[in-house]
Amino acid sequence: MELTRHDELEPFTTKDGSTIRELMRTGRQTLAEATLNPGQATDRHYHGEAEELYAIGRGGGLLEVDGEVRDVRAGDTILIPPGAWHTLTAGPAGVRLLCCCVPPYSHDDTFFA
């Protein structure tokens, strides 16, 4: 069994500008907790290989995926397919979410306009 403890993980900034703690990484996937402060946004980007699931745990904001903009909040789960341009802008309370990437997150798989 592999086990990680949240309070022992060092956060880092991804290529899109969000701060994450990678909760678990296997050869096939990653699970991370991402946070954005109120009004903070990720840079609009896409992943060539990775499919992402966002599960909003606290707060919310505006999520744009390939031109479709939705208000997202705690309790929402969103699929972001490979190749889909996306950006998340935190609302007034900020946003905290779990992000699962398959295959695992990689800076090399993050692309900008």
The per-residue pLDDT for range 50-99, each reduced to its tens digit, is 999 999 999 999 999 999 999 999 999 999 999 999 999 999 999 999 99
How far CA 28 is from CA of 4, 25, 100, 104, in Å, comes to 17, 8, 11, 6
List, for residues 25-46, the tens digit of each pLDDT value: 999 999 999 999 999 999 999 9
Half-sphere exposure of 86 (CA within 13 A, CB side): 22
Q: What is the pLDDT of residue 34?
A: 96
Q: Which architecture characterizes domain 20-111 according to CATH?
A: Sandwich (2.60)
Q: How confident is the model at residue 113 (pLDDT cuts 50, 70, 90)?
A: confident
Cβ atoms 59, 47 nearer than 8 A: no
Cβ atoms 39, 89 nearer than 8 A: yes
Residue 47 has pLDDT above 90, yes or no: yes
Q: Residue 79: name the closest of 102, 62, 60 by CA.
A: 102
User: Which residues lie across from 64 on neighbouring strands?
Assistant: 69, 87
Q: What is the pLDDT of residue 41?
A: 97
d(CA 107, CA 2): 24
Q: What is the pLDDT of residue 64?
A: 98
Mean pLDDT, range 101-107, rounded to an integer: 96
Q: Residue 55: name the closest of 27, 88, 28, 82 by CA.
A: 88
In the chain, where are the structural domains located?
20-111
